[in-house]
Amino acid sequence: MQTNPRYTSLVAVGDSFTEGMSDRLPDGSYRGWADLLASRMAARTPGFRYANLAVRGKLIGQIVDEQVDVAAAMGADVITLVGGLNDTLRPKCDMGRVTDLLTQAVERLAPSCKQLVLMRSPGRQGPVLERFRPRMEELFACVEDLAARHGALVVDLYAAPSLSDPRLWDVDRLHLTAEGHRRVAEAVWQSLGHPPEDPEWRTPMPVTPPPGWGTRRVEDVRFARQYLLPWIGRRLTGRSSGDGRPAKRPELLPYEGPAE
């Protein structure tokens, strides 16, 4: 790993995790870990360029079809690729197809950049995750194998105790809060060889008393009404939250974006 590396460009590929949900800015847009990372990299490299092709709700096949070739053609120093987790959460998921598509993506992206970055995505504590954990871990085993074969970095967020804390997840229980995204940006920053700005990003938050039974039930009802039922409806009708939505930042351009 380089120490104090000098990267001049970054392209982020993926779904809602990389788009930045639910790190919401005052204007209603999302920031997220990739924007935070780009801000740090731009602060040390004049003319630093950044593109973010991520779109919420995308499956790995859509990422391959819509983002991978575009990213490869940009010739960036660093490309981050996080995808496949949306597939694992579908009731019917062909993990063989998912890993084949992820392999295609890595094989296209790795030769096109100086450093490809993959991730073992974070997982929130809770019973829903347990149902899909075997698929997730199969996906992450594929990530590790591909990284070893293609010289990619793997940022292990799945094993970080801090990121499994429900307090770092939004009320939709699918996306990280601003603090969660900040910790992910720090993890990637360090993995790229930069000196730590927060050496304790893996450290869990201080213990606080859990919410009472009544509060938890109110939260469960709110979650089901606002997020779970619409999510189920989209699955049943074949729709996605990203349908018709353009890439967050489709061109590799100089970046002076929102900072931490």
Convert 150-189 to b/e letters by CB count within 10 Å (16 or more is b): eebbbbbbbebebbbbeebbbeeebbbbbebbbbbbbbbb
Task: Give the span between the Cα atoms of 168 and 235, in whole angstroms.
Answer: 26
Residue 4 is assigned to a structural domain of this protein: no
Residue 172 falls inside a structural domain: yes
| For residue 232, pLDDT beyond 90 | no
**Please, what is the average pLDDT of the chain?**
87
The tens digit of pLDDT for each residue in 88-119 reads 988 889 999 999 999 999 999 999 999 999 99
Domain membership of residue 195 (yes or no) is: yes
Query: 78: domain range?
Result: 9-254
In this structure, what CATH number is given to the domain that contains residue 151? 3.40.50.1110
- Position 168 in a domain: yes
Total domains, the chain: 1
29-33, 121-125, 188-192, 254-258: least confident range? 121-125
Residue 259 lies in a domain: no
Q: Is residue 31 part of a domain?
A: yes
For residue 11, pLDDT beyond 70: yes
> Positive or negative, the Cα torsion across 144, 148, 154, 159?
positive
Euclidean distance between CA atoms 119 and 241, whole angstroms: 23
Let me know if residue 59 belongs to a domain. Answer: yes
Is 3 inside a domain boundary? no
